[in-house]
Structure 1
């Protein structure tokens, strides 16, 4: 059984409706009531703590701009909201449709992202991960997400995609589509080596449901699960280590392997290292940059490499851009390296260049 909630997106459908607002502070509610009434919006405060705004023309955009002007960022984030058709009054049955006003306003300007997710219009660029001592030998490719709106040629880079998805609570849907299409496109390019695929553990509630479509895609394509390495990103956002362990166990039970990204970027990733025992750890670019010139970071990174080795975990240094960085990493016996020094991400997957 698969999780349908990760596959269905509810849009802010235009049409006559009612917007229900429940601000955290009564002062905010009173101020909104006064300002909106002054500007001609039909408002009603029949339920204590709740403001009802009638949208006769169904156009939420002007009201969305006005609410951003009238309320502080904190007030918007702490205000609960629900948008319903005009013929429905809010009741307990509509509780699942409530969300923060911040999310609702973000969703009103996310049609482009919803279109992209529904069309699965993602392009993946691939960057080689090479053997440290033999950079001409590709060990794996990391798949890196780009968005492409239907009918458009320009690419949308991950920062914008993820920022909008977080604001509009579309991370669940985006992460699922990204995993599936990374598998699909890597297989389509006939990549024979390992494939690293990023995933955000905060988007997975129950791995038995949320990850079924990922597993089904691998089976449909007849691919070997052992070639796919799922890379845990944004470890600083992980607060439930036991839940992440369940996700990792599900992946491993299905035959996949697991990598921990950005080791050294924060305390969270260090705490997860011994708990999860990943197959690979990746050292953050901030740790690798200029490592040949920084004795303090050299000591830190050398200890991390030593610790990973003692735990039987393979090491990958990402973001390698200079020959001097590579030389230092070779001296410390890092297993694999990745970065612009060898190849930039591209599609189709590029062959690495051996630095001279």
Structure 2
């Protein structure tokens, strides 16, 4: 069942210049209509992790890194992220295609359970191999500020719960402003996920932040090239 998967890509734009793409996030799809979570669950059920994740990476490298000049953002499970041998295999696979690991950013979800020590060790291994690392879904559940402040992340993707409706919510505005300023001041590049409302987009554009933005108000996932939805 996993063999029928294909990839869609959602671009991440620079807020201060929406004509520029920071990178593309790879999102697995399946003809049967399975979501990425369904595919991941099936891969875990049949014991195909992290082999399946390596197949996703190899296809994304061919479809993105060999065709564009942008960065590839790739979601990893905790099993893959904390597996040193897998990190080495990923580097070999990327370099085997003639591509530098510096064009790949691995994303790991905040919803996964890590101690700061465990996360820090894995992050050092990936960074040492030349990859970028992003913490995804920040703002869900407990918001692991201890991890964010104790390690040197390249990107933090702020979850849609912090962004949706921000143009009408003063509390969210204060919270997001504080988080963006704190992350930027700590040398982390923020990416705002789930930008789906035009009014929210206008509010964000008015802030003048140097951040990435991603969401349906900008472009929906699709095959490359992804079209910017806004005029």
- TM above 0.5: yes
Structure 1 residues 272, 331: CA separation in 2 closer, same or farther (over 3 Å shift)? farther
Any idea what SS the aligned residue of 2:7 has?
Answer: strand
Within 5 Å, which residues of 2 pair with 1:65-144? 112=1, 116=2, 119=3, 121-144=4-27
Preserved CA contact (<8 Å) 2:58 2:93: yes
Structure 1 residues 270, 187: CA separation in 2 closer, same or farther (over 3 Å shift)? same
Partner of residue 152 from structure 2, selected from 270, 277, 281? 277
Within 5 Å, which residues of 2 pair with 1:223-238? 223-233=99-109, 235-238=110-113
Structure 2 gaps, min length 5: none
Q: Which moved more, 1:272-281 or 1:262-271?
A: 262-271
Structure 1 gaps, min length 5: 1-111, 148-152
Instruction: Say if 2:39 is the partner of 1:187.
Output: no
1:12 alignment counterpart: none
Q: How many residues align?
A: 230
Any idea what SS the aligned residue of 2:153 has?
Answer: coil
For the residues of structure 2 that align with 1:330 and 1:205, how far apart are their CA atoms? 37
1:75 alignment counterpart: none
2:77 alignment counterpart: 200
Partner of residue 210 from structure 1, selected from 86, 93, 107? 86
User: After superposition, what is the alpha-carbon deviation per residue over 1:289-321, rounded to whole angstroms, capped at 9, x for unaligned?
Assistant: 101111112221111111001101111111111
User: After superposition, what is the alpha-carbon deviation per residue over 1:150-186, rounded to whole angstroms, capped at 9, x for unaligned?
Assistant: xxx5443212112334455544333333333322332
For the residues of structure 1 that align with 2:117 and 2:54, how far apart are their CA atoms? 21
Q: Which has the larger radius of gyration?
A: 1
For the residues of structure 1 that align with 2:132 and 2:168, how far apart are their CA atoms? 34
For the residues of structure 1 that align with 2:175 and 2:82, how far apart are their CA atoms? 34
Any idea what SS the aligned residue of 2:215 has?
Answer: coil
> TM-score w.r.t. structure 2 length?
0.89
1:247 is displaced (CA, Å) by 1.9
Instruction: Say if 2:188 is the partner of 1:298.
Output: no
Any idea what SS the aligned residue of 2:144 has?
Answer: helix
RMSD of Structure 2 on Structure 1 (CA): 2.1
User: After superposition, what is the alpha-carbon deviation per residue over 1:168-209, rounded to whole angstroms, capped at 9, x for unaligned?
Assistant: 554433333333332233235x021111111122344531x1
2:199 alignment counterpart: 324
Any idea what SS the aligned residue of 1:262 has?
Answer: strand
For the residues of structure 1 that align with 2:68 and 2:27, how far apart are their CA atoms? 14
Preserved CA contact (<8 Å) 1:287 1:301: yes
Structure 1 residues 251, 310: CA separation in 2 closer, same or farther (over 3 Å shift)? same
1:175 alignment counterpart: 53
1:351 alignment counterpart: 227
User: After superposition, what is the alpha-carbon deviation per residue over 1:128-168, rounded to whole angstroms, capped at 9, x for unaligned?
Assistant: 11111221221211111123xxxxx5443212112334455
